Structure 1
Amino acid sequence: MDSYLKKIIQEYRTDMESVYQTWFINNDERLKAFRTIRNGIKQVIEEIEQNEFGNDFRGSSLEVVVTAIAEQKQVFEGAAHAFYWKPKLRIPDIYENEDNKKAFARFLKSCLQNTNEKQLLEEILKLHNIGIKGLGPAVANILYFLHPTIFPPFNTAIVNGFNSLFKEKVKLGSWTEYLRMREKILDFNKRHGSLLSKDLGAVAGLFFEIGITRIVIPENHEVVLNQLEKREKNNKKRHKDVVNDGIENHDHTEMQYHLATLGSSLGYHIWIARNDHKREWNQKKLGEFSMQQLGLSYDIPFQVRDTISLIDVLWIDQNGSIVCAFEVEKSTSIYSGILRLYDLALTMNHQNCKFYLVAPNKREKEIQAQLLRPSFQHEQMCSISYVLFSDLRCDCDAMCKFGIDANVLNKISKTIL
C-alpha cells in the first residue's frame, strides 16, 4: 500500500500543472496571503466586539478575509459561498443573531491567540455545540491560514478525493466529520511527510486533485469514465491558467525591473521581494538591483519584517526609511494588494511613505472599484495611488533621465478622489 501511495504522491509532485507546483511551492501570493488573512481576521473580531460588523456578508470585513482565501488558486475556489448571507434560509446565522455573532468572534479570537492543538480543538467543539445554523467546517479554510500545520483546508473536491483514496464516506457540513477526516489526514501526512510538507496545504492539494479526477486512481476510475468531457474541460482550463500565469509572471518581472531601475536612478536603495531575487529581465537578475538584507531605520518585529520583505518593490532612502512601496498586481487580486499596502502602512505607523498599485491597463476600472469599497473608506486607511503598466513601460527611461526624486511618479500615477 505504501508504494502505491508514494507513486500517487510522486505523480502529484512532478505534474508541473498540479496545484502542488502552481500553488503550493511556486506561488509568491500564497506566502503573502497568510499575514493578509490573519490581519483581516483581527478586523472581523474588532468590528464584532465594537458592534460595527453589520448584518450582511457583502462589504463586511469577513468578505475581505474569505475573498483573500478564495483567490488562492483552485484549492479554495468557492470558499466564499458558505459565508454568503442567504436571507430566505437565515444562514449562516452570524449576521442577524447577535449572540451567534459574538460567539463567532470569540471563536476566531481564541483560534488567533492559541497555538496549542488541544485548545484549538476544544474551541471547535464549543462552536459546534452552539449549533449556529449554516456555520459548518467551511470555517476550516480560515483556520488553515492561522494554523497550516494543524488544520487542513476543506471543500467538496478535497472530501471527494479523501473518500475515494481511503474508501470513506465523510460528509460535508459536519464538524465531527471534518475532525474525523482531519485525524486520518494527519496520520497519512505523518507517514508520507518527507514527500509532502508539514504545511497541510500540500496534502489537501493531493486530495483535491484526486477529487476533481486530475489524478486517476482505481477508486475514482468510474467517476473519470462518467465525466470524461468535464475532466477534459477542467484539464484544458488548468493548462490555460498555467500558461497565463507564465505570461503574467513575465510582465510582473518586467514591472519590477522598471521600478528598480527608476528607483536606483533617483538615488534610492532598492528592495526586491526576497523570493523574486532570481527572476531575470533584460539579462539581469532582479537581485542585482536589490539590497541583500532589508535594512530599515526603525525597529520592526521579526514576523512583520518577514512580511515587508515580500512587498514587490521598496524604495528606501539613505536614512533607511521606506519612501515608496509598490505591489505589482497581474491576475492576482487588487483587493489583496490593497490589504498588503494597508498592512505595511499600519506597521510603519504613519511614516512618510507613498503606496502604489502597479497593474495592467485592463484592470484600471477594477482598481477604482476596489479602492472605493466601504471597507477601504475610513480615516485610518492609507492613501494608495496606482500606476498602469503601459505608462511605466513607456515613461520609465524619461523619468530616469529627468527625475529628481519620488515625486516624478506624480506624472504617471493616479488616485481615487
Structure 2
Amino acid sequence: MYQEKIASEETLLQLVNRYKTDAESVYNTWFINNDDRLKAFRTIRRGVHQVIADIKAGTFGNDFKGSSLEFVLSCIAEQKQVFVGIAHPFYWKPKLRIPDIYENEANKRAFGQFLQACLTATKEEQLLREIILLDQKKIKGLGPAVASILYFLHPTLIPPFNTAIVNGFNKLFGENIKLGSWKEYLRMRELILQVNNKFRPHLSTDLGAIGGLLFDIGDMKILATGQQAIATEDILKIERQLAKRHKEVMDEQLEDNLHTEMQYHLLKVGRALGYDVSCASNDKSKKFQDDAFSFLCMGTIPDLGIDKETQTTIGLIDVLWFEKHTNKVAAAFEVEKSTSIYSGILRLTDLHYSLGHHVTSLYLIVPDNREKEVRLQLSRPSIRSSSASFHYILFSELRTHCDAICKFGVDKGSLVKIASSLDF
C-alpha cells in the first residue's frame, strides 16, 4: 500500500550507496566496525533486566535520576549520533506528571511487565502485541521513545526512533508521521521494513543501518534524492550541520587514537610480563606506531568453557591477559574514553562471574580528567558489595610507565604500582 510513495529502486539505491561511501555518515562512524556498539547490546539487556527487577522489588523509585532506567538510557545515549537526547522523554517532569511511570504504581508495573514481555519475546507478533497493549493503557507521556530501547533488544525487528529519524522518513517518503504516537510509529515501521527487505543486500538485517540513513537525511547531512529546490537558509543550515558532523568525527577519531594507544601499551606490557594477550575481536586490524595488533595478539581467545554468547561478549573486552598456554584469564582491562565508566565496570563484572569468580585483576583505564568519576562509580554499593575487585589506571600513568614495567616488571602484580582503587 506504500508502493506509490517509494522512490524508484534505482534512486533509492543511489542514496544508499552515497550513505555507505560517505566516510562521515552514521553508517561508517557508528554502524560498522564499532565494538562499542556491539558491546552496548549486552550491557543494555542487562540494564533492562535490572529495571524489571527494581520494579518487581518496589525499589525503582519515583524519579528518573539515579534509577536503573537512567543507566539504560545513558548507555544508549553513548551511541552518540543516532541516540543523542534519547533520555529526554523519560525525565520526570513533576509539573506535567509525565511520564507517569514514577509516581503511579500501576503504570510502573505495566511498564515493567511490558519490558519483561519484550525482553523474552521471540517473535515479531509478540512484540507488536505488547506495544499495542501498552498503547491501550494510555500512560501519560510514555510514547514510542521506548522503541529505541526495544531496538537494542530486537535490532532486526524494531527500528530506532527519534525526531531526526522521523524527519528523515517524512522527507524521503513524503509522509507526515508524528512523534509521540505508537500508531504512527508502527505505520512508519512497516514501510521501513518493506524498504529494508528490498535493499537488505546493500544495508543489513540490523535496522540500525537504515535507521542511520533516515537520521542523516533528517539531520540534513545527506540530501534525499528528488528533494525540491533548497532555500538559502536551508543551505546554510546544511553547511553548519556538515561542519558539526566533521568536528564530531575528528573528535571521535582523536578518542579512538587514544583508545588504540592505551590498548597497545597494555598488549605490550602483557607480552613483556610473559602472558598470552588478546584485544577485542573487532580491534585485531588496528595498529599503533606501525605495530599491528594482529602480530601482538593470540589468533583467537581460548575456549573458556562457557556459553557461546558470553564467550563472544568476553571476546569484546578491550584487552585480556591469559596465563601462558592456558584458558585462565590473568587480567582484564576496559579502556574508557567518553563512554560510561559504569558500563565498563559491568562488562568486567560479567567476566568475573561468568568465569567462576577467579578473575582477580580487573582494571579500568581512564583519562586523567575522569578520575573523580571512576571513583564515584566504584563507590556504588552494588559494586562495593560484589566479590569483584577493581583497580583503575590513568592514561598518563600507563603511558609514562609502560616501558619501565616492560623492562623491570615481574608479573601482573607490577601494575599495582601505577594503579589506584578506593582502598588506597
Q: TM-score range by the shorter chain?
A: over 0.9
- Name the structure 2 match of 1:399: 405
* Structure 1 stretch displaced more, 354-363 or 331-340: 331-340
- Name the structure 2 match of 1:300: 306
- Aligned equivalent of 2:235, options 198, 204, 228: 228
Per-residue Cα deviation, 1:333-381 (whole angstroms, up to 9, x for no partner): 323322322222332332232211112223223323333456x555237
Tell me how far apart the structure 2 counterparts of residues 233 and 382 of structure 1 sit (CA, whole Å): 47
Cα distance, 1:280 vs structure 2: 1.0
Tell me how far apart the structure 1 counterparts of residues 314 and 230 of structure 2 sit (CA, whole Å): 45
SS state at 2:214 partner = helix
SS state at 1:314 partner = strand
Where does the alignment leave 5 or more consecutive residues of structure 2 unmatched? 1-7
SS state at 1:122 partner = helix
- Name the structure 2 match of 1:380: 386
- Aligned equivalent of 1:284, options 279, 291, 307: 291
- Name the structure 2 match of 1:152: 159
Distance 1:125 1:98, change over 3 A: same
- Name the structure 1 match of 2:250: 243
- Is the contact between residue 357 and residue 387 of structure 2 (CA under 8 Å) also seen in structure 1? no
Cα distance, 1:384 vs structure 2: 2.2
- Name the structure 1 match of 2:15: 8
1:275 aligns with 2:320: no
Counterpart of 1:404, as a letter, is V
Counterpart of 1:395, as a letter, is H
1:261 aligns with 2:268: yes
Counterpart of 2:41, as a letter, is F
Alignment of 1:133-148 (within 5 A): 133-148=140-155
Where does the alignment leave 5 or more consecutive residues of structure 1 unmatched? none
Cα distance, 1:221 vs structure 2: 4.8
Counterpart of 1:171, as a letter, is K
Counterpart of 2:76, as a letter, is I
Alignment of 1:119-134 (within 5 A): 119-134=126-141
- Name the structure 2 match of 1:72: 79
Cα distance, 1:213 vs structure 2: 1.1
SS state at 2:109 partner = helix
Percent sequence identity over matched residues?
54
Alignment of 1:327-366 (within 5 A): 327-366=334-373
1:409 aligns with 2:398: no
- Is the contact between residue 167 and residue 219 of structure 1 (CA under 8 Å) also seen in structure 2? no
Distance 1:175 1:391, change over 3 A: same
- Name the structure 2 match of 1:315: 321
Distance 1:218 1:275, change over 3 A: closer
- Name the structure 2 match of 1:171: 178
- Is the contact between residue 34 and residue 282 of structure 2 (CA under 8 Å) also seen in structure 1? no
- Name the structure 2 match of 1:117: 124
Per-residue Cα deviation, 1:303-347 (whole angstroms, up to 9, x for no partner): 000000000101111442212110112233323322322222332
Alignment of 1:53-68 (within 5 A): 53-68=60-75
Q: Segments of 4+ in structure 1 off by > 4 A?
A: 218-224
1:27 aligns with 2:4: no
* Structure 1 stretch displaced more, 360-369 or 67-76: 360-369
Counterpart of 1:400, as a letter, is C
Tell me how far apart the structure 1 counterparts of residues 379 and 94 of structure 2 sit (CA, whole Å): 26
- Is the contact between residue 213 and residue 220 of structure 1 (CA under 8 Å) also seen in structure 2? no
Cα distance, 1:64 vs structure 2: 0.8
Tell me how far apart the structure 2 counterparts of residues 381 and 246 of structure 1 sit (CA, whole Å): 36
- Is the contact between residue 326 and residue 356 of structure 1 (CA under 8 Å) also seen in structure 2? yes
- Name the structure 2 match of 1:102: 109
Tell me how far apart the structure 2 counterparts of residues 174 and 223 of structure 1 sit (CA, whole Å): 29
1:194 aligns with 2:212: no
Tell me how far apart the structure 1 counterparts of residues 106 and 308 of structure 2 sit (CA, whole Å): 37
What is the RMSD of the two structures over their aligned residues, measured on CA atoms? Answer: 1.8
Tell me how far apart the structure 1 counterparts of residues 374 and 204 of structure 2 sit (CA, whole Å): 36
- Is the contact between residue 164 and residue 219 of structure 1 (CA under 8 Å) also seen in structure 2? no
SS state at 1:92 partner = coil
- Is the contact between residue 360 and residue 388 of structure 2 (CA under 8 Å) also seen in structure 1? no
* Structure 1 stretch displaced more, 334-343 or 219-228: 219-228
TM-score scaled by length of structure 1: 0.95
* Structure 1 stretch displaced more, 344-353 or 223-232: 223-232
SS state at 2:170 partner = helix
Tell me how far apart the structure 2 counterparts of residues 254 and 224 of structure 1 sit (CA, whole Å): 45
SS state at 1:90 partner = coil
TM-score scaled by length of structure 2: 0.93
SS state at 1:227 partner = helix
Distance 1:229 1:186, change over 3 A: same
- Is the contact between residue 213 and residue 224 of structure 1 (CA under 8 Å) also seen in structure 2? no
SS state at 2:362 partner = strand
* Structure 1 stretch displaced more, 383-392 or 365-374: 365-374
Counterpart of 1:391, as a letter, is E
Tell me how far apart the structure 2 counterparts of residues 224 and 215 of structure 1 sit (CA, whole Å): 16
Counterpart of 2:259, as a letter, is H
SS state at 2:202 partner = coil
